[in-house]
Structures are given as structure tokens and as C-alpha cells.
Chain A
Amino acid sequence: MNNKTALDNFRTDIARWLAEWYPAVLRPLDVESGMPPEAVVPETIRNAERRWHRLRAEQGWLAPTWPREYGGAGLDKDQARVLAQELRRVGVRPPPISAGLSLLGPVLLQRGTPEQKLRHLPGIARDEVMWCQGYSEPGAGSDLASLTTRAMLDGDHFVVDGHKLWTSHADKADWMFCLVRTDPEAPQHEGISFLLIDMKSPGISVAPIRLISGPSAFCQTFFDQVRVPKENLLGQLGEGWTIAKQLLQYERQALGSIGRGDLGRAQTLPELAKQELGSEGARIADPVLRAQVAQCELDSLALRLTMNRSADEAGAGRGGDHIASMLKLYGSALTNRRHELMMTLLGADGLGWEGPGFSDAALRITRQWLRAKGNAIEGGTNEIQRNVIAKRILGLPE
């Protein structure tokens, strides 16, 4: 049996399995337009989604290319592509971005010891163990390498002291992967190590952060004499910065793709413009704002096509990973522009904060407008992304 037949058979198997197991209530009537099926009780949908998520995780489909022993499905690249196509065909949305699955997993696969992989990967692949990221600190934002949280070796434990910022979901997470300074005497980039820390360890305390847009998943995390077993060091001592950079690329990729999945269900920008400005025939009535809507739509299309191209190039074994910086930079800037424009379209309807008098949709846009500003900061500010592009892609001098 040649490779193509094998792949075709694989596709048939997947399609058959999905036909049997993917909940009917989650299937869109029209996959193209992304319209949900007839009115169903939200509770039913939520339950079905939960059930489907478990089922999908058990199949190893959250991490399709990971080996089976680590909770993946053991698929090769071609099979993974077929799986993604078949999932998309029935309207399955990509799983939510999680620190474990999108960020730590790939690094752990590459650099973990066999024991570390067996211990941590299956929990990530099945989405049973939640991870958070301990990178930034009050004094180390864009200049991440200046971090000062210390981990000093004491027998077969590290003792961690310090203060991490922007640790998303730290209040719910089971584990944290964390950058710590293990050698204060070494040159800045070489004294950093990568530590896996159990969030139940004594000495850890967590406080949520309130943003300009309201409550958020962000937290700050304090470490006071926290003891972490030596075997929880990922990679070598002093190798933390190399690992962190690798992981940052995964993060940029993930952040750049934010806002892709859900577009079908939200009101589109042209629809919002027609609702707020009125229309003449099919045209948005205000010509100046119509041109701005068109520019935003064109740019979104161009970004989407660039993501597709970048995926196609990766599939063909071409293209570099630093493209992630470009997608993150352009994607977050565009998200900001879209929200600015939505606020303009809403006028004073965009000034509501909570309670009656404003539609839920308008209140949501206001909060998103504020929150979107963070997209251009988190995961490396847009200025840092431009530095990365200038150095790594364009080869401009230091």
C-alpha cells in the first residue's frame, strides 16, 4: 500500500469516527459561515463541549504529533494535517491556547529527561494538569534577562525567593515553569535556569491583577523560601535563557493567531458599521468610515492569508520560525486598530462600563478595546518584536 492510499484510508477513518462521536449539537449548519445550529439551550451546548473536549483529549488529539506514551496520538506531519482538515470540516474549533500545550509541551518534548516527559506530558496532553508561566518580574519586563528571582541549591533542593508578574492563571494552575537566577555571579544570560515548580509547594502566594479592562487572568506570584526538588530543573543549569527564547517563539505564534477561531460567531466589522451608521443599499452610509472598515477588512484578510502561507511553507519544509514575530507584531497592531474603529463606530455607546443602558455587545467591545492594548505588550512588546525582526530576519547590525 503506498503512502497516499494509507493517508486516504486514515482520512476515511477519521471522518467515520467524527461522524459517530462529534456531538451533533456542536455542528454548525453551515461550516462556511460559522453560523450555529438552531437555538439550543446554552447549557446543552456547554455540556456537549465539555464532553467533546474530554473525548478529544483521550484520543490524543490535543497533541496529535506527540508520541502515544506521552498522551499524544503519535501522528506524523501528513496525518496531523489530515486530522486538522477533517476537524475543521465538521466545524471543530482549535483548542483554547494553554501554556502547557502550546508553550511548555514542545520544549519539554525536546529537552526533558525521559522521567520528566513521562511525569508531565500526559497530564498536559489530556488537559488534566494546568500550567502557568513564570517569566516577567516587576523589574524585568522587556529586559527579561535582568530577572532577579533566585534559586539557590541547598542539598538536593533549590530554594526559590522572588516575585513574578503577569503569571496568567497562577491562582488556578497546578504547576509553573519558571525562569530563575541560579548563578548571580555569571554573565546575565548565563546565570538563568528553567525550573518546574509545583504550585502547592509551601511558601508560594498568589494575588490576581486587575487591569484597565477589569478583572483578568493575570496574577502576581510571590516565592518565600520555596523548596523545589533538583530533578525539576529542565535542561542544564544555566541553560534557562536558551530554553526561554525557544519557548517565546511558540508564545508569539500562539498570540499572533488570537482572534482567528471565533470570528464566525461575533458580529463582523461591516455589520457593526451598518448598524451604527446606516446603509445605502448594501453600502455603509458614511464614506469616510466605510473606507476605514475596508482597510481593516483588507488587512485582516492579508494577515489570515499570511498565516496560511506560513503554515503551507512549514508544511513544505520551508520558512523560518521567526515569522512568528511578524505575525505577533502585525496581528496585535491590527487588533488594536479594529477595536479603535469599533469604538469610533459606537460613539457614546462605547462609553458604557457596566449595568443597564448599554447593550452587552457594546460593553464587551469597550472592555476588549482596553484589553487589546495589552496584546501589543504581552509576550514581548511590539518594539521588541521589531528588534527581533531587524536582527534575526533582516540581519541589521547591532
Chain B
Amino acid sequence: MTTVTRSSALVPTEEQELLRRSVREFAAARFDIAQLRACRDGEASVDEPLGYSRAHWREMAELGWTGILFPEEYGGLGLGHAELGVVLEELGRRLLPQPLLSTVLLAGNAILRGGSEAQKQAVLPGICAGELVLAFAFQEQGRFAPWQVAMRATRVADGYRLAGEKRFVLDGHGADRLLVLARTSGEPGERGGLTLFLLDPQTPGVECVRTSLLDVRNAARIRFADVKVSVSQVVGEVDRAALILDPVFDGAAAGLSAELVGVLSEAFERTLAYLKIRRQFGALIGSFQALKHRAADMFCERELAMSVTLAALRALDAGRADAPALASAAKARTSEVANLIGREAIQMFGGIGMTDEEEIGFFVKRARAAETTLGDGAYHRDRFATLNNF
């Protein structure tokens, strides 16, 4: 991994501030919630079945953002989670959907960490160039439980046969490659016995069904009916995928936390703006103490969520031993605060907040999806406790 010496201070560097401005301008110029609504209602100019725009993906690649995490030898920028976090936060503010989580933080990072040189060459330059989108098929049930994998990969003479079903595969529909987690030994729930496979979704026996989530993003249900894969498609060591995936899930949880900081900040600021224009009983409702105090509490929660997320991203980049616990702390906190602000936002907007016409609902829905993805507050609180030895 490329190591970059950087400040451990919990303030953005000058470069990160510049990056933030670029992403903010990019997102504002290209995307608004009207497009998200159109996409949901099937009137999209964007690639509607994908739920994101391939054209934006290519543009982001030209700006270097899809390659932030990858070393220069693969066409990337060799930067870190802190920089990628800046991009995710700004996209989150705008609710701009892009396959950064699926392609870069999950599948791409797993291949970077565990793949052979040939596998890295086969996908990483393509991601950095904006040509490839990858999806990581691991989840089988509703609640995030990474080792609860029942899907089997059975050893046969010339490779493996995959049989089972994956659900909630983010950006699985329309992905150019699939990274699949299957059980080569052991029982569901065990960390050991899991293996990663890299395959083309066009492989015979792979059946992909697009499912639509409430945030208009694409998550697929993918069936594997005795899909034949070769030994060269194994990523990393057989039975030991968990070792690759631990840091991958940490990085993804921290990245998703950064996106959540963007989502919840925007939702909070929109709510605040509404409190300053809405009049009832002849007064601005923001002058009512019952609402002021709740706004102040939300502000505190938002600030704390930002601090933990920043600390988690920094710790990951520095390779610190407390990075896993901080990643869980960040995901727990941002998930819960996003939920809190979502609830309060609708309540403070009142009746208008219940309508589809008012945009605040889109933030609430994205926040809920991001909260649930990769483990919610309860999951990460439990993990935080375990990692801290209690």
C-alpha cells in the first residue's frame, strides 16, 4: 500500500479543502433531486435501471476521484480514505448516486488487498479509468452479518461450482464484474472457510434481478445455479477471505459514514432553513424554544458524528491499531444521528415534510439505506464493545 505521511490533526488539509470545493461544484453542476425523482419515476435522462450515471462515473474518473484509493501504478492517485471521504461526503450532500462504495471501497479495495497481480491489472486500471463498475455479492439476509454466508463453492476437478443466492448486492445490476463471497468450508457464522471469487456476470448460471430500494439505488438479487469458475478466479487464499475483508469492511464503513455526514448535514441545514422561514401563530417557528432546543441537540450530535468520522478516516490511513474500533464508532454514530435528524426533519417540516414534493424525504430515505448498509448502530456498538474487550 502506498503510505503517505499526513497530519493526524482533525482538520482538513488545504488539498482536501480544494478537493471539497471541486466535488461540490461538480455535484451542483450535474445533479439535483429532480433527477433522482425522475429516475425513480422512470423518466430519467440518467441510466435509469442503474440508478446512477455512467457518464458521471467517467467524468469522475477523469478528475481522478475513482482512483483516489489505488496506487499510481494502476492509474490511481495513491491517496487515502480521508480524501475519498471528502468526495463521498460532498456527493452525499447532493444525494448524487455513484458506485464508489460498491466498486472502490468494497470490490476494488478487496482485490487491491487480496488479489493476484494479474487480477489487479485486470480491474484496477479499469476502475481508475472509469470504464469498470464492480459489485460485491456477499450478503444473504436482511441484517448485516458478514460471516453468515451459506452459499457454497464446491471444489470440482477443474475449479469450483458456486450455488446459492445473494441479496442486496449494491450496484449489482449492470456491474461489469462481480466479486462473490462463498463458503468453501465450515458453517454459516464462522469467519473461517470463506473464499472470494472474481467473475463476469455473463457467466452461465448467473441470474441477476434488479431490485429497487427506497433510495432509488440499485441493489440486485443474484442467483448462482451451479456456476463454474476456475481456480484462477479465486481472490486471495481459499478459506481465508475474512482476513482480506476485515479492513475492507472497516474502510467501507468509514467511507459510508462520510457519505452519511454529508446526507445528515444537508438534511439538518435544510431543516434549519425551514425553521427560519415558516410562520405559524404569527411567528417564525424557529423562535419556539421547543424546536430551538431540539435543533441545538441535533447540532451537537452532528458535530460529534463529524469528529468520529474524521478520526476513523485518519486512523485508517495511518494504519493505526484502533482504526477498526474507530470505524465502528463512526458508523454507529453517523447511522444513529442520521436517523435522529431524519425523524426530526420530517416532524419539523410538518405536513409538507410528508409530501413527495418536498425534497427532505429523499434525504430520510437515503439515510435509512446507508444506516442499514454494512451494519447499523446496534451492530457497530456491539462490535465496538467486542473490539474494546468488553
Contacts and interface: CB of A to CB of B under 8 A. Distances in A.
B315 to A, nearest CB: 10
A108 interface: no
Contact of B300 (A270, A297, A309, A329): A329
Given A305-B308, A389-B299, A270 B9 contact: no
B308 A301 contact: yes
Contacts of B390: 270, 273-274, 279, 282-284, 290, 293-294
B347 interface: no
Given A297-B385, A298-B332, A315 B304 contact: no
A186 interface: no
Interface in A328-362: 329-330
A224 interface: no
Given A326-B299, A383-B293, A386-B292, A282 B389 contact: yes
A393 interface: yes
B381 interface: yes
Nearest to A299: B304
A390 B296 contact: yes
* B289, B300, B332, most chain A CB atoms within 10 A: B300
Nearest to B268: A394
Interface string A150-176: 000000000000000000000000000
Interface string A303-320: 101101100110110100
Interface-centre pick from A315, A389, A396 (highest chain B CB count, 10 A): A396
Interface string B296-320: 1101100111111011000000000
Contacts of B272: 394, 396
A368 interface: no
A395 interface: yes
Contacts of B232: none
Interface in A272-290: 273-274, 279, 282-284, 290
Contacts of B289: 387
Contacts of A274: 390
A316 B9 CA distance: 9
Given A291-B382, A394-B272, A302 B11 contact: no
Contact of B381 (A291, A306, A395): A291
Q: Which of A293, A299, A385, A394 has the most CB of B within 10 A?
A: A394
A294 B293 CA distance: 26
Contact of A306 (B286, B304, B378, B386): B304
B384 interface: yes
B87 interface: no
Contacts of B10: 305, 308-309, 312-313
Contacts of A318: 11
B45 interface: no
Contacts of B296: 329, 385-387, 389-390, 394
Contacts of A290: 385, 390
Given A270-B390, A308-B10, A397-B276, A390 B329 contact: no
B304 to A, nearest CB: 4
A294 B381 contact: yes
A299 B307 CA distance: 11
A185 interface: no
A295 B381 contact: yes
A115 interface: no
Given A298-B332, A312-B9, A394 B308 contact: no
Nearest to B389: A282
Task: Classify the interface of chain A: helix, strand, loop or mixed.
Answer: helix
Nearest to B293: A386
Contacts of B276: 395-397
A387 B292 contact: yes
Nearest to A319: B11
B18 to A, nearest CB: 15
A305 B287 contact: no
A398 B287 contact: yes
Interface string B270-289: 00100110000001101101
Interface residues of B, number: 38
B287 A302 contact: no
A396 B332 contact: no
A100 B80 CA distance: 45
B388 interface: yes
Nearest to A304: B307
A305 B307 contact: yes
Nearest to A302: B304
B310 to A, nearest CB: 7
B295 interface: yes
B333 interface: yes
Contacts of A398: 287
Contacts of A394: 272, 292, 295-296, 299
B384 A309 contact: no
A124 B333 CA distance: 41
Given A318-B11, A386-B293, A309 B310 contact: yes
Contacts of A293: 385, 390
Contacts of A312: 9-11
Contacts of B9: 312, 315-316
B86 to A, nearest CB: 16
Contacts of B284: 397
Contact of A390 (B292, B308, B386): B292
B329 A301 contact: yes
A276 to B, nearest CB: 13
A297 B276 CA distance: 35
A263 to B, nearest CB: 14
Contact of A326 (B303, B305, B310): B303
Nearest to A315: B9
Contacts of B287: 396-398
Given A293-B390, A386-B293, A398-B287, A298 B299 contact: no
A190 B275 CA distance: 31
Contacts of B303: 306, 323, 326
Nearest to A307: B307
Q: Please give me the 8 A-B residue pairs with the lowest Cβ-Cβ distance, nearest first.
A: A270-B390, A309-B10, A390-B292, A386-B296, A389-B296, A302-B304, A294-B385, A306-B307
Interface of B: 9-11, 272, 275-276, 283-284, 286-287, 289, 292-293, 295-297, 299-300, 303-308, 310-311, 329, 332-333, 378, 381-382, 384-386, 388-390
Given A283-B385, A386-B293, 12 more contacts: A290-B390, A291-B381, A291-B385, A298-B332, A305-B311, A309-B11, A309-B310, A315-B11, A329-B296, A387-B289, A387-B292, A397-B276
21 contacts: A273-B390, A282-B389, A283-B390, A290-B385, A291-B378, A293-B385, A293-B390, A297-B388, A298-B329, A298-B333, A298-B381, A302-B304, A302-B307, A309-B306, A315-B9, A318-B11, A330-B304, A386-B292, A386-B296, A387-B293, A396-B276
